[in-house]
Structure 1
Amino acid sequence: MTGFTRRNFLGTLAAAPLMTGMAGLPVTAWAQTTNLKISHQFPGGTINEGDFRDRLVRVFAQQVSERTKGALKFEIYPGSSLMKTNAQFSAMRKGALDMSLVPLNYAGGEVPETNIGLMPGLVTSYQQGASWKNAEVGKELARILGEKGIVVVSWIWQAGGVASRGKPIVDPADAKGMKVRGGSREMDLILKEAGAAVVTLPSNEIYAAMQTGAMDAAMTSSTSFMSFRLEEVAKALTTGRDKAYWYMFEPLMMSKAVFEKLPKDQQAVIMAVGADMEQFAMKAAQADDVAVAQVYQKAGAKVVDLNAEVVKKWQDIARNTAWKDFAARNANCAKLLSLAEKTL
């Protein structure tokens, strides 16, 4: 290559957009590496230690980077350090955020259909939750999310329980008169029916609310009960380790606008690694359901489990309140609920 031609080449390269983030930037012939940002609300750790959702994201990033020989690289932002928790879903829709692992129902105010991700009594085991991905309900949910600009990369479910400052909430009657965080419109509906006052906030704000007494009890996942150190402010825990009346859908998602700008082979790697992460997530979530009971017992809290009879009581309330309310929101919601009931 002559000096003149080389200078022209370098000048062209310098003028080309660099691929430092996917949002809004075209792929150029010169781009070697694409850097993607992954945001989540959970405490940060390492690839081997800490909240499994943070670990999952780190393993995912490492494996995708390896399989694409460094063509895809990732920056991970735990603890809502990149943006506020409730802004993540909307940012992905607009292509302003590449990826996030976030409870789907947090988008309920924006996309009502997403509230099916925390619908009490609709998913009652990990195996049933896992079956959604390839069932009609999962395909319909993926279609709706696709229309809203979201790609589901990993289907992740977590059992939920209740931590309380005072007495444990086991039976619906136990919630009467208590200030409780449900976590979704639908959870709030069953709590109101049980006589509780509802408190609305993301899981990373539960500790402060319970510490000050602004809230008596909170529903969240086993992992969050530990990651946010709620055993320091709770005196009782109702676990989801044997049976639970609610499971949270907490997927790893990607902006469709960003996903579609990637070459097909890179898209395929992202989806393949995302699928691989689902078994890791189920095992980790089930392990946390057991571990959380040990953490709370060690802290001196009263730990109780649910039985089938109690689960049915909550499910009956949900069927007559939350399920009806959700189905009445729009035609998509009604269809999703009907398809989900087929998996029960």
Structure 2
Amino acid sequence: MKRTKLTITLGSLTSFFLLFSLMVSGAWAGLVNLRISTQMPPNHHTVKALEIFKQEVEKNAAGRIKVSIHPAGQLFKGRDLPMAVGSGAVEMGDMVTPYLSGIFPEFELLDGPFMVDSRPLAENIFSGEIGEMLNKRIESLGMKVIFGHPYGYFSMYGNNKKVIKLPSDMEGMKIRAVGETQVLKAKAMGATPQTIPGSEQYMAYKRGVVDVGQSGPSSFVSRKLYEVFKYGTVVRDDLMIFWCNINSKVWKKLSDADKKIILEAGKKAAAYDWEATEKKENEANDFLPTKMNVYFPNAQELQEWKRAFAPVNKQLAENTGKRGLALYNAILKVRKEMGLK
């Protein structure tokens, strides 16, 4: 009798755990895991924007979607991200324009001097026909663009010799330049370009590897570059953009409701990052003059910078063929329509 009861009890427990296992495995089978890979450090405002995205998606998906953020290149390095996301090696990636220009050379024009240099212009470009054209190129890699958001502005120039007011003031100097656009800018000013990775800037400047350091104003603050330069000149000729993309196959498997949740979360993340970027830039404007002699070119001087850099954009367009010329002319058209010189 006791043995019969024990057998029944064990059988009941076995059935229960089997049923429970099936229920759990079924639930987890329906769970969508979205890993987001980014090159930026955890405390950077672009990563904070991804955290907003994560919170919004998980809150509104009611347990159907789990988002995890992997900063500082933990999963993939920046330039590997387009192929990693496109192949499905990772579900999502946050990639700045230069990572894409290695595959699509015409994207280099988006970082050309005074091509995309303000929030209103960027929002106009990326939400219109140009944005559609760029999105199709990205989609050809097996990715869908969820949202775009700002990294910040280039350029600020630091040196220890004199106040730089015009591009010609850097003639004959050696300047940090990373990528084709910055190399062409250096040559347009009569300067000699020298490649220095972002993480190596501080020590390179301290040792005097170059005469002029080049980065963004917010990077001069975060990397404490003001400690190694006496003079700084803020030009802000380029607004760099991040593209948060998802693997196309992953996207197609999502329900229409979840797609809507993800796109809405992207809008909120982008809105946060635009405000955060403007705040960082304003803070840099206030902080840097307390640490170094900072010069902001006036309107007339900025026209000189634009004239000096104009050949750079033409060269970039010619170097990237028909697509580059089409993008170049399209951006100039939008600038003209907005009354931007």
- TM-score normalised per structure 2: 0.82
C-alpha distance in structure 1 between counterparts of 2:68 and 2:164, whole Å: 40
Q: CA deviation at 1:330?
A: 2.3
In structure 2, the gaps of 5 or more residues are 1-11, 336-341
Aligned residue pairs: how many? Answer: 323
Q: Are 2:166 and 1:190 equivalent residues in the alignment?
A: no
1:42 aligns with 2:40: yes
What is the percentage of aligned positions where both structures have the same residue? Answer: 23
Structure 2 residue aligned with 1:154: 147
Contact 1:186–1:326 (Cα < 8 Å) also in 2:
no
Kindly state the Cα deviation for residue 182 of structure 1 after the two structures are TM-superposed: 3.7
Is 1:236 the counterpart of 2:231 in the alignment?
yes
1:1-344 superposed matches below 5 A: 30-45=28-43, 51-157=44-150, 158-166=152-160, 167-240=162-235, 244-299=236-291, 301-344=292-335
**Matched position secondary structure for 1:342:** helix
Letter in 2 for 1:267: K
Post-superposition shift, 1:140? Answer: 0.9
**Paired letter, 2:116:** V
Deviates more, 1:320-329 or 1:280-289: 320-329
Q: How far apart in 2 are the matches of 1:209 and 1:331?
A: 39
Shift of 1:132: 1.1
Q: Within 2, Cα distance between the matches of 1:215 and 1:90? A: 34
Q: Give, in whole Å, the separation in 1 of the partners of 2:233 and 2:22.
A: 63
Cα distance in 1 for residues equivalent to 2:246 and 2:222: 24
TM superposition shift of 1:194:
1.0
CA distance in 2, matches of 1:207, 1:91: 31
Which structure 1 segments of 5+ residues have no match? 17-27, 46-50
* 1:56 partner amino acid: A
Tell me, in whole angstroms, the C-alpha distance in 2 between the residues paired with 1:149 and 1:122: 27
Cα separation, 2, equivalents of 1:341 and 1:140: 15
Deviations 1:110-131 (A, max 9, x none): 2212212311121232211111
Match of 1:25 in 2: none
C-alpha distance in 1 between matches for 2:314 and 2:19: 62
Q: Which amino acid aligns with 1:152?
A: V
Mapped partners of 2:274, 2:233: distance in 1? 20
1:222/1:289 contact within 8 Å kept: yes
Q: Is the 8 Å Cα contact of residues 156 and 215 (structure 2) preserved in structure 1?
A: yes
Query: Equivalents in 1 of 2:282, 2:296: separation in Å?
Result: 11
Instruction: Give a deviation string over 1:90-121, Cα, whole Å, max 9, x none.
Output: 32222223333332123322221221231112
Partner of 2:4: none
TM-superposed CA distance for 1:61, in Å, is 1.1
Q: Normalized per residue, which structure has more helix?
A: 2
Specify the SS of the correspondent of 1:82.
Answer: coil
